[in-house]
Structure 1
Amino acid sequence: MSFMLMIFSTFALTFLVAFLGVLADYTIGFDIILTRILMVLLVNIVGSLVYYPTEFVQRKTFHETRKCVQSRMLLDKEMHRQEKILLAVLPKNIAFEVKKDMQDTHEERMFHKIYIRKYEDISILFADICGFTNLASEYNPKDLVLMLNELFARFDKVASIHQCMRIKILGDCYYCVCGVPEYQKNHAINTVEMGRDMIEAIRLVREMTLVNVNMRVGIHTGKAHCGVLGLKKWQFDVWSNDVTLANQMESGGLPGRVHITDATRRYLNGAYILEEGNGASRSKFLEKEKIKTWLVVDRSPDYDIVSQETANHPMTIPWKSTRGISKQERLTGMSTRTRGASTRNGLSEEEVLVENVDSHLRQGIQAIHQENWKSMYCQNWSLKYKQVRVENKFVRMKYKDIPFQVTLYVAIVAICIGIKFGLMNLMVFSFIPQAFILLTSIMIFILTRLLMSLIYFSSFIVLITVKLVAIDKYDTLFSVYANFCVLSCLTLLLVVFSTRRSELISRYDFIWKLQALDEQLQMKRKHEQNRSVLENILPSHVAKHFVEDATSVSKLYHESRDNACIMFATLTAFDKFYIECDGNNEGVECLRLLNEIISDFDQILDRDEFRKIEKIKTISTTYMVASGLAGEECADNSHVEAIALFARELLLKLESINMHSFNDFNLRIGINVGPVVAGVIGSDKPHYDIWGNSVNVASRMDSGGVAGRIQVTEEVKSILEPLGYQFECRGQINVKGKGMMTTFFLLPPDDCQCELYK
């Protein structure tokens, strides 16, 4: 474009010289012609000096706008990854409610917000791997996590097929519900099919590993409160007496069988052949509650479940039709898994991003050239922005260059005055008004700080030519002063038109850039909001890994830690406190108090001395944390001391809660230290957890502990005792899976006033 303008300017200059040579009066001397040519050249030089800065500014604006658009699209892409992970872990209604409340953090509440909803007519499934200890002994920790990841990923896919929602993974235990968050008419049948497919999956594991493992499945149908508790590491969970019963159905079941209650049987409508389960003979809880149970034998020949599944899910491959697929693929669902980053038309992610940015900019440029674009943002005559805020920003930007403009104006005036007096003896006196016109136009350009392109200078030259040829030679009616007035008016119109157009372009550029920046800032706010929610589900370094790498979701994420410290703390006697009746909204008020306790525990983690501690999860009324997981140096064992101090703080906080709520809750705490494997399992529904013998021992320190005491292993004692902590030897106790172990109680400090801490 600039090359064409230069050609047009040269053509105009040639046109001027030709007409001066052919039609000019014979009295005009060579010096006048030379002077006029020099003046035209100077005008073109000034035009060039004006045009190229204009071009530079516009290109800079375009480049900055492009960077903003590209940055916004990258943020948008990352935000979609965050949304995908978030909605995979939390139901949509709870996720949106949580994000909305995070925006309203200025609101002060007497109690912490609780995100719970009641669901009726749902089926709850608990499944546990029998013989998991034998299976774990055949694998090193990393391979065990890999196997669990593929197994539970398969469970997640099966759950999706049967409209079940996975709730949690607790070590080797998996539980889910059907009928949440949306009601499912066949929730009982779907849950039974889910259990049967899980047993088939574990059978494949047994065949591949030659380890005697099996799956015990328990199902109950009823109602539950579903939601999240606490302020950190949210995990969707369910609470009710029916959930407790479903859990007992699993523990009272048989390996390789689906164990259901009579309540579930009534919803099956004869879809399965059943036999009596005799669960009361294997579970004291079922015996006490007089629960009648059944075992699923097979599908009923009179009920066509397969055709209903195929109608609802035509792309689903049933287990029995996978003979041509390897056991590994049947276990992991590799035949249906999509790996790698998504591309479009064979383009890489970077090329797709560039294409999207270019398309967005083209649409923006087309919008600028539409007539309604100006009326949308600017006033018709003054060209001021309709929004005062935008106009003030634009004016402040213009005023930054005033000192430079004044300096430039004074310099040009000085140069022009010097040229005038220096060339006065060489020029015809009648030419002075024309020079004054040119000088006036230049000053108008500088004063308005509005840029002109070469084409307007070329038009200006043509007007000068017309004046010289037509008016000066043939028109004798006008005096020199009349000529001066006519040319001044024409020049003024030209300058006003061009400067108005330049002003409009300048305002277009500004509003376009401002819009891009506003969109980017808005996207950043949403991005930070999503990241905050996501970091309440996964540890910050793990969330960053999943969000920044598009292929991470389909990959196993794990990391080994040689010296992690693990703590379990269980709130005792809450099962007696929890009652479902009309007076407490069928248990909601009990859960509200549990939410207050967990939230207060979470707030303690915000203190600087506990920044090394990572909350892992809550398991019903058990609070689990660990330290030494983020990869920081822990040679001084400060992370172990932080866990010990945190355990003491929990007891102090619970005593304060008891005093204000008139309750007598207590904590049973267990601590251990040792190697663990931390990782994320479940490709579609990422779940962060830690595994290893050290975790199991820490859990046994809690479950085999004493209320009001902090029970630790000998390894923890050997670390803390040199730091001044005192212990009481409990002696040897029988630890499940470990045999006899010597354990110790961490004693309170001498100045401790906590009645709970014995």
Structure 2
Amino acid sequence: MIRWRRGLQVYQRNSLYGHLLADIFINKSRGLTVIQSYVAALSKILTLVQFTSAYVNDYYYNLWLSRTKKLFRVSIKLFLSTCVLRILQPGLLCPSGKQIYSFWWRAGFIIFLMFYLTTFRGLSHRTYEVMSLLLLLIHIFIQFPVHCKVPSLNLPLSLPKYLTTFAAFVLLPLPLELSVCVIAVYVALNEGLDKVYDHLRAGNLTEVSDPSQTPWGMFDLSRLTTEFHQLESKTRWTQMMRGLEWGFICFAATYIAFWGNVRRRFVFLKLGKSVQARNQCETARRVRVCWIEAIVPSKVSKEYQRLLKANECLDVTEWIYIRSYESVTMLFADIVGFTKMSSGLTASQVVNILGSLVKQFDALCEIKHCEKLGLIGDCYYCVSGCPELFKYHARSCTEMGLGMCEILKSFNKVFGTEINIRVGVHTGRAHAAVIGAVRFHYDVYSYDAIIANELEQSGRPGWVHISQTTYDQVHKYYAAIPGPELTINREDAFGWARRVPEAVRIFTYFIEPGSTNVKDTLSKLISTSETSSSTSTADASSTSWTSFSLENITQKENEAVEDSRVAWKENYLPAEALADIQMRHQTNMLKLQRDIQLINDLRADPANHRLLFDHPPLTTVLSQFTDPEVEWHYHLHMRHAVGPSFVDSEKLARVCDALILLLTIGLITAGALVVNFQEITLVLFLVFFAIAVAICIVLCFTGTHYPDRIHSRFSLTIYNICTNPMAYEFILAVYTLLPTAVTLTFVRTLSAEYRSNEIGQMYLTFMAISIYIHCLPSSSAAWARGTSAALTLSSGFLGWNGQEILQAEKEQFCMTNKDMKNGLNMRNQEIIAAYEGAVSLVLIYLLSRISERTNKLCFFVHREAEIESEAAETAAKEANVLLYNIIPKYVFRDLERIGREDLSDRSSSLRYAVAHEMIAVAFISVSNFFSTLYREDREGGAASLRLLHRIICSFDGLLGNFKYVEKIKSIRENYLVASGLSQSRVQEESKNNAHMVELMLYCIMARDALNNFSHTVLSDDEALVSKIGYNCGPVTAGIIGTAKPHYDIWGDTVNVASRMCYTGSPGMIQVTELVREKLKHIFYFSYRGEFFVKGKGHMRTYVCEGRV
């Protein structure tokens, strides 16, 4: 069972949207084991990022709506940059006086501006999807007319196709499938039209004898002064290079889009999990508070929990909650005849009858400004004037007692019973305290509390017995008759003088029943109950249509199911098929409930963590966390094992990035080596590839290991160096600059025998890959990626200008005296290339920034989810510790099973009862505490209560030594324990009397503990003695009441154990004859005699002398 619960906790911690995430580094895995686990997790990643419900999918996109709008605007700006380029290109390259065809790009410029202005309206994600598709199609469409009018074979513009591809996959909110289809058509049209136009252009130009007569609409500007042999169609090698370029760009865009989509969905799901964990934490806290308030008033509970937190490092005996009140009124009420009536009833009947009475008492107590203190069997007691101060506390308690008498009369009429109630009310001073460490509760202690109890015991059934102090405050409102005088023995002293016993005489009175005030109170009670029920109904009706609930959806689906069932019956489907369909329907409904709960939790999140999607906690420029502690934890998480690492971990992303980069570098190196195979190039390319392999190994090593799993000192040093943030960025920069080095080496060592067009296309392809490879690593900072891309661009321009790549000689135009290359103005050509490079650099930085911020947001949400999960577990543990301190674990499990573990639901009385056949019960009383130790002349009695707290805590401390013994409650100086209530534990024991033996041993240890306390703490004349009564038999255990429900036991067995305690001798353990018969083989018993026991007559009793 323990292993199963641990497994459940692991599942709840590692599960995400119904899927169990695999911790890649579980069981201290490393190296190839980590890679294997990572590959296995990648194979299942598609199922993780799919939402089963359209509700969750729509809500997910709505949360990212701000990001969608920003990227949509960025796409428009980038498309506008291509418009500017296409408009400037003909003007820069064409000779003066020639007609330029730029209508489509000017029109596109205006259309894009209109799209941009549309984003200032509140649009939905679906609208942005449609607009993105239109925007992309328009951008593709306007490229082809100019492509056919002003082509340039020797200076092709690559920027539009790069922007189109990355915008379709990464920037625009288009589904991946749709983006693939659009780009596939775009590539086919681009290459197809280019090939067709090359063929037509070559045919037209061969027929021209005078270039000046050539129509500009069908004339390639790059052919103005070149010879016609350069007009040959593209070779197969050139087409392969263009295919490689397209393939890399599409792969890079897909790679970035895929991981971005995965991590954003992980962010959403982890954020939902974090919020749900916080809700669980709040629920655990609320349940904890409710159960604390079950024994401690709400005003006291906050202060008590504050003291509990402040003194958590201290022993429980070293601190106590205690407050003194000079004037309060206490009420004790005992139901007369209930024990006799309940003797012939079952456990559930006893609890139902007593529960119905207690429910009425609780409601009356709340109306009359009284604070319920507890229920001792069938004795109900409360106080008014504390902890909430109330001026008319005496009148409040008096009306409470009269109301209880009227409730009993009504109860007898309804059920035909003859039970009654005695009520005692007294006004005086009291100390409100929480005594004990186990099953503690809020109670009042003083001589005046004893007087109130004595008034109840000496009262008349059906009357309210009040003292003189109470009478002085209420005689104007009620008719009273004199009662018998009471004599209370108390001992006080002055200073350090010897205690002097004193007999205090108290005048008492009886309040006549049937007061009009009581009738008004009862009518108010009834009207209040009706109002609360009607109000709850109204509230439910008013909120049912506004809340995001499952009712309407469930109703529609149920109607559909009913219609389907009719169709099933008509088609005579077999029972197995019907059961399978119904099972799938139930599964879908459970998933729908989970989805709606997720949405409701995110919407109702008081911390508004959903705003993280709009405003992540990152700086604008460097994308660092605004909280330095989080930034430190982020780098610590990359270097050390802090929590589980799942498939979205940035540490594991380094492994994937390293392998992808190695594959790309290998392709470039192989292609360059095939074309330019020389000894020097072979050596250089092998050196570059060896460096790439070494870096890949290092990155994979750091990405699949943690320091605590590295045994070699050299490897640990390498790990510490390479995982340093700046060192990692430097290594990755070298890694991504290797394609640039290969490309430049390829150009510098190239022989002049190769065809210029093929080499030119190869150079452009390699440079494009070398530039855009910098946006691939998703585990790198955007500033580092931008810096590396800038170095590649600078090297590319130097390589272009420093080598005659196209093998064409510069020419001088006599008319213009401008430097030309293949008939084009070189300076203008460089301006266009620089413009393309600048926009490409912006695009690379933007893509890297998107990946970096998504990674960091994923880490932040993962960190918050882990913190909330740990907080939820800690809160649950703390709640359980306190909860099981109030109520037994097995009882709470039963309450969870019947759905009544939450005490915040006050709509019905909590009634829980279990009948036990053979339970051992013991009463332990510090019989002379109030007569020997309690003194109100020292701190008003607070010092004495601290001693009582230590005594009760010493009894509580003994419980851990026994398996079956548990405390039921402590009532002032009395301590009630029982054994055998946990039937699951008792059934595990082969001997039926094992729990009885343990309880007897506990009684002996408690007696010895009290004696030891007296000898070590108190003087000889203040020695405390115990009286212990022990009995066994059937009992009823349960919880009843709407306010302050306590776990208690009832029955004749409990009453007899109490009588055994009160009629026993000091220091003795008095037992019944039944106990002696069951334990005589284990313990010595001596016959004490027959004693009269109230309700039982004369009984033979024995005293336990010790073990045999």
Deviations 1:264-298 (A, max 9, x none): 12212611122222355xx7879963211122126
- Output the CA distance in 1 between the equivalents of 2:654 and 2:310: 43
State yes or no: 1:434 paired with 2:764. yes
Of 475, 487, 509, 1:294 maps to 509
TM-score where L is the length of structure 2: 0.59
- Output the CA distance in 2 between the equivalents of 1:257 and 1:435: 104
Where does residue 569 of structure 1 map in the other structure?
Answer: 924
> Any conservation in 1 of the 2:918–2:980 contact (CA below 8 Å)?
yes
- Output the CA distance in 1 between the equivalents of 2:534 and 2:440: 29
- Output the CA distance in 1 between the equivalents of 2:1031 and 2:407: 33
Q: Secondary structure at the match of 1:733?
A: strand
> One-letter code of the match for 1:411?
L
Where does residue 586 of structure 1 map in the other structure?
Answer: 940
Deviations 1:43-74 (A, max 9, x none): 21332233223322322332233223223223
State yes or no: 1:224 paired with 2:464. no
Of 153, 159, 162, 2:359 maps to 153
Of 98, 103, 116, 2:304 maps to 98
Where does residue 642 of structure 1 map in the other structure?
Answer: 998
Where does residue 382 of structure 1 map in the other structure?
Answer: 622
> One-letter code of the match for 1:590?
S
- Output the CA distance in 2 between the equivalents of 1:658 and 1:233: 24
State yes or no: 1:407 paired with 2:659. yes
CA 1:474–1:621 in structure 2 vs 1: closer, same or farther (change >3 Å)?
farther
How far apart are residue 214 of structure 1 and its match? Answer: 0.9
CA 1:224–1:366 in structure 2 vs 1: closer, same or farther (change >3 Å)?
closer
Where does residue 748 of structure 1 map in the other structure?
Answer: 1106
Deviations 1:687-731 (A, max 9, x none): 110112221222122112111111122332233233x32221223
Where does residue 953 of structure 2 map in the other structure?
Answer: 599
CA 1:687–1:336 in structure 2 vs 1: closer, same or farther (change >3 Å)?
farther
Where does residue 457 of structure 1 map in the other structure?
Answer: none
Where does residue 443 of structure 1 map in the other structure?
Answer: 773
Of 660, 677, 689, 2:1036 maps to 677
Q: Secondary structure at the match of 1:748?
A: strand
Where does residue 118 of structure 1 map in the other structure?
Answer: 324
How far apart are residue 97 of structure 1 and its match? Answer: 3.2
Where does residue 477 of structure 1 map in the other structure?
Answer: 826
CA 1:284–1:578 in structure 2 vs 1: closer, same or farther (change >3 Å)?
closer
Where does residue 699 of structure 1 map in the other structure?
Answer: 1058
CA 1:81–1:407 in structure 2 vs 1: closer, same or farther (change >3 Å)?
same
CA 1:430–1:7 in structure 2 vs 1: closer, same or farther (change >3 Å)?
same
- Output the CA distance in 2 between the equivalents of 1:337 and 1:482: 77
> Any conservation in 2 of the 1:134–1:211 contact (CA below 8 Å)?
no
Aligned pairs for 1:481-630 within 5 A: 487-546=836-895, 551-552=900-901, 553=903, 554=908, 555-582=910-937, 584-607=938-961, 610-630=962-982
CA 1:244–1:365 in structure 2 vs 1: closer, same or farther (change >3 Å)?
closer
> One-letter code of the match for 1:709?
M
Of 1085, 1090, 1093, 1:727 maps to 1085
State yes or no: 1:20 paired with 2:379. no
TM-score where L is the length of structure 1: 0.84
How far apart are residue 529 of structure 1 and its match? Answer: 2.9
Aligned pairs for 1:162-561 within 5 A: 162-268=368-474, 270-280=476-486, 289-297=504-512, 317-318=523-524, 345=544, 347=549, 353-360=597-604, 367-368=611-612, 370=614, 373-374=615-616, 377-395=617-635, 396-397=637-638, 398-422=650-674, 428-449=758-779, 475-477=824-826, 487-546=836-895, 551-552=900-901, 553=903, 554=908, 555-561=910-916
**Percent of pairs identical after alignment?**
25
Deviations 1:164-192 (A, max 9, x none): 11112111111111111111121111111
> Any conservation in 1 of the 2:369–2:396 contact (CA below 8 Å)?
yes
> One-letter code of the match for 1:529?
E
> Any conservation in 2 of the 1:220–1:264 contact (CA below 8 Å)?
yes
Between stretches 660-669 and 58-67, larger displacement belongs to 58-67
> One-letter code of the match for 1:2?
P
Q: Secondary structure at the match of 1:589?
A: helix
> Any conservation in 2 of the 1:566–1:695 contact (CA below 8 Å)?
yes
CA 1:212–1:368 in structure 2 vs 1: closer, same or farther (change >3 Å)?
closer
How far apart are residue 737 of structure 1 and its match? Answer: 1.6
- Output the CA distance in 1 between the equivalents of 2:384 and 2:1094: 33
> Any conservation in 1 of the 2:1035–2:1049 contact (CA below 8 Å)?
yes
Greater percentage in helix: 2
How far apart are residue 194 of structure 1 and its match? Answer: 0.7
- Output the CA distance in 1 between the equivalents of 2:535 and 2:940: 42
Where does residue 234 of structure 2 map in the other structure?
Answer: 29
- Output the CA distance in 2 between the equivalents of 1:673 and 1:581: 38
- Output the CA distance in 2 between the equivalents of 1:284 and 1:364: 62
> Any conservation in 1 of the 2:920–2:979 contact (CA below 8 Å)?
yes
- Output the CA distance in 2 between the equivalents of 1:721 and 1:472: 118
CA 1:533–1:258 in structure 2 vs 1: closer, same or farther (change >3 Å)?
same
Bigger Rg over Cα: 2
Of 1003, 1009, 1013, 1:657 maps to 1013
- Output the CA distance in 1 between the equivalents of 2:233 and 2:779: 37
- Output the CA distance in 1 between the equivalents of 2:525 and 2:868: 49
Where does residue 631 of structure 1 map in the other structure?
Answer: 983
> One-letter code of the match for 2:629?
R
- Output the CA distance in 2 between the equivalents of 1:495 and 1:115: 65
> Any conservation in 1 of the 2:405–2:421 contact (CA below 8 Å)?
yes
Between stretches 594-603 and 57-66, larger displacement belongs to 57-66
CA 1:364–1:259 in structure 2 vs 1: closer, same or farther (change >3 Å)?
closer
CA 1:278–1:45 in structure 2 vs 1: closer, same or farther (change >3 Å)?
same
Deviations 1:125-172 (A, max 9, x none): 111112223322342333112111111111011000101111121111
CA 1:519–1:428 in structure 2 vs 1: closer, same or farther (change >3 Å)?
same
CA 1:189–1:394 in structure 2 vs 1: closer, same or farther (change >3 Å)?
same
How far apart are residue 490 of structure 1 and its match? Answer: 4.0
> One-letter code of the match for 1:655?
N
CA 1:360–1:154 in structure 2 vs 1: closer, same or farther (change >3 Å)?
closer
Between stretches 222-231 and 25-34, larger displacement belongs to 25-34
- Output the CA distance in 1 between the equivalents of 2:1024 and 2:475: 44
How many residue pairs are counted as aligned between the two chains? 707
Structure 1 portions without partners, runs of 5+: 310-315, 323-328, 453-462, 751-758
CA 1:497–1:117 in structure 2 vs 1: closer, same or farther (change >3 Å)?
same
- Output the CA distance in 1 between the equivalents of 2:634 and 2:478: 74
Structure 2 portions without partners, runs of 5+: 1-173, 199-219, 223-230, 491-501, 552-592, 639-649, 677-753, 783-792, 794-799, 801-819
- Output the CA distance in 1 between the equivalents of 2:1097 and 2:918: 23
> One-letter code of the match for 1:510?
F
How far apart are residue 431 of structure 1 and its match? Answer: 1.6
> One-letter code of the match for 1:97?
E
State yes or no: 1:139 paired with 2:345. yes
> Any conservation in 2 of the 1:628–1:639 contact (CA below 8 Å)?
yes
